[in-house]
A and B are shown apart, each in its own frame.
Chain A
């Protein structure tokens, strides 16, 4: 069965203090790995899609990377508005191609 584990569960950073969030996965053939941002009570907002090991994507202060076993979301010089829960998801190639989400990392950036 496909599994996604995100760490840490919660992270508290000072404004400007860079860090990384981890997403470890096991999947029967990876079709795609997705990163989302979710604010409380709202639907997840798409950030990145990664398809193969070695791929990197960047958007403002965020950079996502992918290896064969894990993905990292690097946050450079975060601002308070980056506070949110960051979700990682994988879509498998085999069988029903279902999507499996991790439980997320809740990020708080303090001014």
Chain B
């Protein structure tokens, strides 16, 4: 158990819908990262927050947005969902900005 929690574990929804994925980092960690993992593309970095501020951005679609709240939990919002958005979404946390990351168990999103 890494200490990072993600909810929900599974999410099934339809195209065009909007969903919110939630992540609670390990106690004491200030950085939160979001990743997308699909079978054909491996682990893709989406975005990083550090103590509430956006610090690094990967290939995150405009339909996706994220934020980190004062209590350091983070949410990833996915809107206008497409079939291709079906994937495992992982959250990770670290103490600082250049430290090893600890990953949560992931949310499996299925878009029908």
Binding site for B on A (CB under 8 A): 31-32, 34, 36, 41-46, 49, 87, 89, 91, 96-104
- Write the nearest CB–CB distance from A68 to chain B, whole angstroms: 19
Given A43-B103, A98-B58, output 7 extra A-B contacts at Cβ < 8 Å. Answer: A43-B106, A98-B48, A98-B57, A99-B45, A101-B45, A102-B42, A104-B42
Given the known inter-chain contacts A42-B106, A43-B2, please indicate yes or no for A87 contacting B43, CB distance below 8 A. Answer: yes
Whole-angstrom distance from the CB of A83 to the nearest CB of chain B?
19
Interface size bucket, B side? 20 to 34
B98 touches A44 (CB 8 A): no
Interface SS of A by simple majority: strand
Give chain B nearest CB distance to A21 CB in angstroms: 15
A49 lies within 8 A of B97 (CB):
no
B33, A99: Cβ atoms under 8 Å? yes
A14 to B39, CA, bound (A): 26
Name the B residues within 8 Å of A41 (CB-CB).
88, 106
Fill in one digit per residue for B74-112: 1 if any A CB lies within 8 Å of its CB, else 0: 000000000000001010100001111111111000000
Give the distance in Å from the alpha carbon of A100 to the alpha carbon of B106 in the complex: 18
Q: Which applies to chain B's interface (DSSP): helix, strand, loop or mixed?
A: strand
Complex CA distance for A89 and B99, rounded to whole angstroms: 12
Q: For residue B4, which residue of chain A has the nearest CB? A: A43
Q: Please name 20 pairs of A and B residues whose Cβ atoms are closer than 8 Å in the assembled complex, sorted by A.
A: A41-B106, A42-B106, A43-B90, A43-B103, A43-B104, A43-B105, A44-B92, A44-B103, A46-B101, A49-B100, A87-B43, A96-B56, A97-B56, A97-B97, A98-B56, A98-B57, A99-B56, A99-B101, A102-B42, A103-B42
Residue of B nearest to A43 (CB): B103
Distance A46 CA – B103 CA, assembled complex (angstroms): 8
With beta carbons under 8 angstroms apart, the residue of A31, A96, A97, A101 that contacts B42 is A101
- Tell me the smallest distance from the CB of A88 to a CB of chain B, in Å: 11
